Each structure stands twice: as structure tokens, then as C-alpha cells.
Amino acid sequence: MADFMNDRRIDPRVKAILAMLPDLSEGDVSSRQEMLDEASQESAIAQVAAMKAVTDFIDNEELAPSKGLTITEKDIISDPDGNTIKLRIIRPDTKEKLACIYYIHGGGMASLSAFDGNYRAWGKIIAAKNVAVVMVEFRNSIVPSEVKDIAAFPGGLNDCISGFKWTIANADSLNIDAKKITIAGESGGGNLTLATALALKKEGNLGLVKGLYALCPYIVGKYPDARFPSTVENNGIFIDIHNNRGIHSYGVEEFSSRNPIAWPAFATVEDLTGFPPTVISVNECDPLRDEGVEFYRLLLEAGVQARGRMILGTMHGTEILPIACPDISHDTARHMADFANS
């Protein structure tokens, strides 16, 4: 495990946050059901509630002002499963037709919520850069969010695709430009960002996507991986990935069958050919850094107009925790908005 306090690479502000966080290390499991049983225990439910209370402090007017923004919520029916999901829609108070960031939250496809305080703040920070933001609350695979149903692959992905298509269909009423909708997300949301594009390509609808912006994408699933030194050298900096929980929680069968729509690291050049312009943004001190870099290189091999970013001194997902390094959060939000508007 990494000794983050003596790691000269890490921004001191990030170290201060890491010092306050509990040990998130977890061991292997035998099945998804074991994880569901763990999540149903009172201690686990209390821990989720405590973390929500902590993130609520991040959503404040100093870090993420709401002035000049309109925030609405919409329940929609997801296809093809017929379940209800939620969209959180944030846009500047303007009559201008805007580009849109369709944002998918992280949490390894298993947990967290677009309604958590840090995501509420993050959505406002992005929207303040003169874009509309639609944040999708999909079915997690283990821990319920504002959407109380849970589902393994492809449940959450179906919800993300449905929310995106709803946004396209309702672009006029939302006063957004249907030809300028970028899909974005971090960590597990980065997986779902790329997977949504792969699924849309398979059904012949990839042309609906203006661009993709994946931050610290979680796309390999099983670690450590000898191809990617960061999975060893950075393990334990915020997240511990040396277990099998990710593949069991979301889709161990899909991992075994090397399905890129579940685990995009299995994608080939052929799978990625025809992708829209794509940004892959990684964090220097993140165990997932190198898989994101490799995906960026694969995009280039496929002839995609791809851009790569690495934020020095940062841990996994630093950008979506504006209490840590607000300048980095704002710089990334501005870059994302500029990309959507280009």
C-alpha cells in the first residue's frame, strides 16, 4: 500500500483530504450476493448515511454558487426495463440554446449518487461555465441511490442510455442544442461514458453523440495488472483496487467473456473506430491512471480525434471533490465546457 504522506508527487491539499478519510481497503468476495448482504447490514447503511452527510458540506454557496442557475429534477421511464430513473438538470439562466454535458456519476457502477453533495456542487460548477448539465441517476449494482432499485450489468447502462436518448428527444424543451451533447463521467461514470458510446455504436446510433469526456475511467476491473504500473505504485492512495469486488458487483460473467460494453478495456481498434472526439483525463497518483492512458492510445490507433490530460499531484477523482483543489475542479469544468462548445 502507498505511503501517501511521504509521497512528494501528491499536492499537499490532497494529502490533507486523504488524512481525513477512513481506510477503504476491502477483501475479495465470492459473489455479488455476498456484497449485497454486506450492504444490507445496519453498519453499512449507517456508513453510507455518514458519508452522505459529509458530502453535503461540499454543496455550499462558496464552493458552488447557485446564483444564475436553474435546477430541476425529472423522473423518466428507462428502456427496455420499464423502471423509473431520475435526471438532475442544471442550466444557466439564459434564453440561449446551450451545449450540454450529460454527466454520469462515479462509484464503480455500484454506489454513490448524482444527488450526493459533491455531485450537486460539481454539476453547478460545470453549468456555471455556460453549458447545460443533465446528471443521470441510474441503478447502482449494490448500494441504492435516489433510485432505490439496484441491478447488475446492463441495468445501470440501460438507464444511462435511456436518459441520454430522453435528453436528445427533449432538447427543444430543455433549450439545448441536440447536436452538441457530450457524454461525460468519472471513474465508474467514465466506464459508463465509454460503454454508452460502444452500445450506441452497436445499435447504429453513435452519431447522436457529439463527444465523450471520461475522467479517470474504471475500465479494467481486475487488479493488480502487470501491464499498468499505476495499479501497484498508486494502490491505496484514496482507493484500494486489489480485490475482485468490481467484477463481482457489476458483471463477472461479462468480464469472463471479455465484453467491452461492460468493461471497455476489452475494446479493440475496430470497436472504437468511428468514435466521436474523446477526452481521456487521468490523475497522476491514481491506481487507474495507466488504463486510462492505454485507452487514449487505443483511440489514437483507431483514428479517433482523442485528447489526453494528466493532472499532476492528484488522487483518483480529485476534480469532483471541489473542497480539495477548487482550482483544479474549475479548470477541468472549464475544459469540459470548452470541449462541449467546440
Domain count, the chain: 1
pLDDT above 60 for 1: no
pLDDT tens per residue across span 120-133: 999 999 999 999 99
311 CB-contact burial (10 Å; exposed 0-12 / middle 13-18 / buried 19+): buried
- Note the residue count of the chain: 342
CA atoms of 137 and 145, how far apart (whole Å): 8
pLDDT above 90 for 22: no
Angle (CA) 132 116 200, round 5°? 50
Window from 36-40, 49-53, 272-276 with minimum mean pLDDT: 49-53
Range of the domain at 137: 4-341
Q: Dump strand ranges (E) for the chain.
A: 69-77, 84-92, 98-104, 132-137, 176-186, 211-215, 278-283, 306-311
**What average pLDDT score do residues 254-269 get?**
98
The domain that holds 159 is classified in CATH as: 3.40.50.1820
pLDDT tens per residue across span 66-99: 999 999 999 999 999 999 999 999 999 999 999 9
pLDDT tens per residue across span 131-178: 999 999 999 999 999 999 999 999 999 999 999 999 999 999 999 999
CA atoms of 208 and 211, how far apart (whole Å): 9
CA atoms of 310 and 292, how far apart (whole Å): 10
Q: What is the dihedral of CA 181, 187, 192, 197, to 10 degrees?
A: 50
CA atoms of 274 and 254, how far apart (whole Å): 24
122 CB-contact burial (10 Å; exposed 0-12 / middle 13-18 / buried 19+): buried
Provide the pLDDT for residue 24: 74
Question: Residue 294 corresponds to which cell in the numbers above?
Answer: 492505454
CA atoms of 17 and 99, how far apart (whole Å): 33
**What average pLDDT score do residues 240-257 get?**
96
Provide the pLDDT for residue 187: 98
Give the phi and the psi of residue 331 in degrees, each rounded to 5. -60, -45
- Report percent pLDDT > 70 for the chain: 99
pLDDT above 70 for 2: no
Of 112, 134, 113, residue with least CA distance to 183: 134
**What average pLDDT score do residues 211-228 get?**
98
